């Protein structure tokens, strides 16, 4: 091995934190897929690094030697001649190494994130909260009756300005009108007790009832029409809507007539 290559190996090895770090360096240098590692090439290059360290009398950690033995074991298993059927059923000897590499990469990236946070927060300084003691002293103020009256009037005026002059109108807005759909359905059936039909605008007029009342009444006639208790008729668009009796609602009309009596 040439001295130039040896020096390059030495510089790189000193920066490796362990055998997995060295393996990731070799995989990146060869631009290979981590799920399909060319074990022959990677093993040979890994051993070259170890030989370079030994020639330079560098102390080789035991974990590097263990990884070298693992790579040689995988390489030997892949070089052994096996039958085609047995080889298909046998698990890839590189699978366990790939899982360990993926696990190492996950923790490596996480440790890098933590290191960046340490650098970010190392330049910040903070102070723990402390209880602040306040000394309260009562001061006696002497006021005359006119002064006291003046301050009292100012307090009343200040409170008056805080009040919303439209508070009464707001209360009216908050109060929602509650109209029951069932009550409107009963009201429509009562209208049909003594007559066969009526106009919708005749009973539900905006001049006499609220919008909520009219809308609920309109929903009521639609519901009764769906139940075939009434029949709706409108000759043209925007014309009057007529609500007529049907045979399906006879019992309900009779019940309403008895209740009205």
Q: Which two tokens stand for residue 212?
A: 């909520």
Give the start-to-end residue ranges of the domains of the chain.
3-82+90-122, 181-260
Condensed to tens digits (0 to 9), the pLDDT of residues 147-201 reads 888 888 998 888 888 877 666 655 555 555 567 888 889 888 888 888 888 888 8
Does residue 32 contact residue 38 with C-beta atoms inside 8 Å? yes
Assigned CATH for 181-260:
1.10.10.580
The pLDDT, as a whole number, for residue 3 is 35
55 CB neighbour count, 10 Å cutoff: 13
The pLDDT, as a whole number, for residue 138 is 79
If phi over 0 gives left and psi between -120 and 50 gives alpha, with beta otherwise, what is residue 44?
Answer: alpha
For 38-99, give the secondary structure using H, E and C: CHHHHHHHHHHHHHHHHHCCCCCCHHHHHHHHHHHHHHHHHHCCCCHHHHHHCCCCCHHHHH
The position carrying tokens 């539900």 is 204
**What residues in the chain have per-residue pLDDT under 70?**
1-15, 56-60, 81-90, 165-178, 247-261
The pLDDT, as a whole number, for residue 5 is 39
* 46 burial via Cβ count (<10 Å: 0-12, 13-18, 19+): buried
The pLDDT, as a whole number, for residue 35 is 85
| SS3 (DSSP) at 245 | strand
The pLDDT, as a whole number, for residue 93 is 83
pTM of the full predicted structure? 0.38
Euclidean distance between CA atoms 65 and 29, whole angstroms: 21
| SS3 (DSSP) at 156 | helix
């Amino acid at each position: 091995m040439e001295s130039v290559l040896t020096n390059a190996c030495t510089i790189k090895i000193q920066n490796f934190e362990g055998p997995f770090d060295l393996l990731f360096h070799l995989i990146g240098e060869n631009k290979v897929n981590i799920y399909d590692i060319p074990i022959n090439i990677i093993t040979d290059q890994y051993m070259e690094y170890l030989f370079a360290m030994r020639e330079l009398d560098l102390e080789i950690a035991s974990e590097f030697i263990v990884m070298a033995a693992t790579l040689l074991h995988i390489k030997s298993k892949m070089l052994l001649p096996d039958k085609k059927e047995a080889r298909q059923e046998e698990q890839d000897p590189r699978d366990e190494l790939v899982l360990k590499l993926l696990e190492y990469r996950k923790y490596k990236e996480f440790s890098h994130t933590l290191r960046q946070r340490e650098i970010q927060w190392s330049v910040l300084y903070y102070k723990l909260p402390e209880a602040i003691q306040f000394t309260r002293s009562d001061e006696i103020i002497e006021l005359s009756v006119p002064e006291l009256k003046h301050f009292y009037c100012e307090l009343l005026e200040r409170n008056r300005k805080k009040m919303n002059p439209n508070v009464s109108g707001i209360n009216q807005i908050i109060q929602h009108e509650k109209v029951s759909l069932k009550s409107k359905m009963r009201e429509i059936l009562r209208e049909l007790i003594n007559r066969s039909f009526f106009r919708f605008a005749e009973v539900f007029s905006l001049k006499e009832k609220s919008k909520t009342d009219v809308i609920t009444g309109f929903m009521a006639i639609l519901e009764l029409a769906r139940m075939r208790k009434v029949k709706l008729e409108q000759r043209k668009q925007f014309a009057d809507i007529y609500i007529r009796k049907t045979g399906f609602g006879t019992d309900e009309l009779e019940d309403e007539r008895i209740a009205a009596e």
